[in-house]
């Protein structure tokens, strides 16, 4: 049967728009977290191009090859081991590169070393782009300073505040939701709860807004103060616990990265508790920490200042103080 060509009357060729817009994500650091984040984004079809960069070129190429070999099973995307020139057309750059703590090394020494590494990476990225949104994940110590690294990255980049931010307490909030959901007998995504402040020990659970279908969790018969305290403590210790058992944490953070990147690329205006530079929220300035943030194509479009009770506010201020002290101790 002949196929009839449907041409317009004036016989002009119709230029169809590209079926899919090219979206490019560059992942710097292809250790456990970076490579698992790349895998998750590839499986979930989040971006059409995923590029890996690492100082360890061999490992980086190996990770890219391993991912490419699975491309026939998932939505089509292109994956390769690249270099900083690939940041030129990047929509998002995810930074997961960094060094872990060595025996005898102090917290501050490590923070200073990683600040230098992050500074160098940002410089190279900025050589090629001022457009990409930069998502910080590097958190060289379990007991901190993602918020400090986010501050370093922002200041070194010279980019607007909304364009450089960290995953913050997104992962912690997911852990907290999971643990509370277990206690209340509901699915984790039905439990609305989050933490703000430092991605670390001083993070603040916002119980005054933790709810199930709009009803505060304290109104339910399942509520028990000890149960919530246990969930909070378990959340804070979770990373250390997983690291003790298997050496690193990467699945949950990779899912968090993939979800945030999707919100950026699809201009979703989704709200996550992300770490960004505060500009007067709750009277706090010149410090990066997590608050609920509206995320879309340009990065953080708005930081929400929800009403906190006195205890939450006091804890948030304490958390900000802890981060500020570390920021001050690093010579930028
Ligand atoms: P890893 O040691 O497996 O990987 C780090 C990678 O960074 C290595 O491949 C290394 O070669 C690379 N690297 C080091 N210096 C570099 C540089 N200058 N340029 C490019 N690459 C460089 O560590 P991991 O388990 O993948 O963790 C990565 C980071 O993510 C750590 O800081 C970890 O603490 C952090 N993390 C954060 C969260 C969070 O919630 N934000 C959760 C889990 C892990």
Query: Over the stretch 48-101, which tens digit does the pLDDT of each residue have?
Result: 999 999 999 999 999 999 999 999 999 999 999 999 999 999 999 999 998 766
How many A from CA of 158 to the centre of ligand 1?
23
Predicted pLDDT at 8: 46
User: Strand runs (DSSP E) across the chain, as ranges?
Assistant: 24-28, 49-53, 78-81, 92-95, 133-136, 164-166, 191-192, 195-196, 204-205, 211-212, 215-216, 270-279, 285-296, 299-303
Only one residue has tokens 């969930």, namely 231
Residue 117 beta carbon below 6 angstroms from any ligand 1 atom: yes
Model confidence over 149-196: pLDDT tens digits? 999 999 999 999 999 999 999 999 999 999 999 999 999 999 999 999
Model confidence over 5-37: pLDDT tens digits? 444 455 455 555 555 579 999 999 999 999 999
Predicted pLDDT at 98: 82
Predicted pLDDT at 124: 98
Q: Is 209 a catalytic residue?
A: no
Q: Where are the domains of the chain?
A: 24-69+77-166, 170-329
The answer to whether 197 touches 203, Cβ cutoff 8 Å, is yes
The answer to whether 257 touches 135, Cβ cutoff 8 Å, is yes
Q: Determine the Cα–Cα distance for residues 251 and 178; give it in Å rounded to an integer.
A: 15
How many A from CA of 119 to the centre of ligand 1?
15
pLDDT at position 103 over 70 = no
Using alpha carbons only, how large is the chain's radius of gyration in Å? 21
Return the residue whose CA atom lies nearest to atom 42 of ligand 1.
Answer: 253
Residue 171 beta carbon below 6 angstroms from any ligand 1 atom: yes
DSSP string over 231-298: HHHHHHHHHHHHHHHHS---HHHHHHHHHHHHHHHTT--EEEEEEEEEESGGG-EEEEEEEEEEEETT
- Supply angle C-alpha 320, 252, 295, rounded to 5: 55
Return the residue whose CA atom lies nearest to atom 28 of ligand 1.
Answer: 96
- Residue from 31, 125, 171, 175 whose mutation best tests the ligand 1 pocket (most atoms within 8 A of CB): 31
The arrangement of secondary structure in 24-69+77-166, i.e. its CATH architecture, is: 3-Layer(aba) Sandwich (3.40)
pLDDT at position 276 over 70 = yes
Q: What is the mean pLDDT of residues 110-124?
A: 90
Predicted pLDDT at 149: 93
Label residue 266 by pLDDT band (50, 70, 90). very high
| Domain 170-329 CATH assignment equals 3.40.30.10 | no
Q: Determine the Cα–Cα distance for residues 120 and 107; give it in Å rounded to an integer.
A: 20
Neighbours of 270 (CB within 10 A): 15
Predicted pLDDT at 272: 98
Catalytically annotated residue among 199, 209, 234, 270: 199
Predicted pLDDT at 119: 94
Residue 137 beta carbon below 6 angstroms from any ligand 1 atom: yes
Residue 141 beta carbon below 6 angstroms from any ligand 1 atom: no
């Amino acid at each position: 049967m002949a196929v009839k060509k449907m041409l317009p009357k004036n016989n002009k060729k119709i230029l169809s728009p590209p079926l899919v817009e090219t979206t490019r994500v560059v992942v710097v650091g292809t250790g456990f977290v970076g490579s698992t984040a790349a895998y998750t984004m590839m499986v979930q079809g989040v971006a059409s191009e995923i590029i890996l960069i690492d100082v360890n070129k061999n490992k980086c190429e190996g990770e890219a090859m391993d991912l490419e070999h699975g491309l026939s099973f998932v939505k089509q995307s292109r994956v390769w081991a690249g270099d900083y020139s690939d940041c030129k057309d990047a929509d998002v750059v995810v930074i997961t590169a960094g060094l872990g703590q060595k025996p005898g090394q102090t917290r501050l020494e490590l923070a200073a070393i990683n600040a230098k590494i992050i500074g160098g990476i940002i410089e190279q990225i900025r050589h090629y782009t001022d457009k990409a949104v930069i998502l910080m994940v590097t958190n060289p110590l379990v007991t901190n300073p993602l918020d400090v690294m986010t501050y370093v990255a922002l200041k070194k980049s010279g980019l607007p505040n909304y364009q450089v931010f960290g995953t913050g307490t997104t992962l912690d909030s997911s852990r907290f939701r999971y643990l509370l959901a277990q206690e209340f007998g509901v699915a984790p995504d039905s439990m609305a709860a989050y933490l703000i402040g430092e991605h670390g020990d001083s993070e603040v659970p916002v119980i005054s807004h933790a709810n199930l279908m709009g009803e505060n969790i304290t109104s339910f018969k399942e509520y028990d103060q000890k149960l919530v305290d246990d969930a909070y403590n378990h959340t804070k210790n979770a990373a250390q616990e997983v690291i003790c058992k298997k050496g690193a944490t990467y699945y949950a953070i990779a899912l968090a990265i993939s979800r945030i990147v999707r919100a950026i690329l699809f201009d979703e205006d989704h709200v996550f508790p992300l770490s960004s530079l505060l500009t007067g929220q709750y009277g706090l300035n010149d410090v990066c920490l997590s608050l609920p943030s509206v995320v879309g194509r340009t990065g953080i479009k708005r930081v929400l200042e929800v009403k906190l009770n006195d205890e939450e506010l006091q804890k948030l201020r304490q958390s900000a103080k802890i981060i500020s002290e570390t920021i001050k101790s690093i010579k930028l």
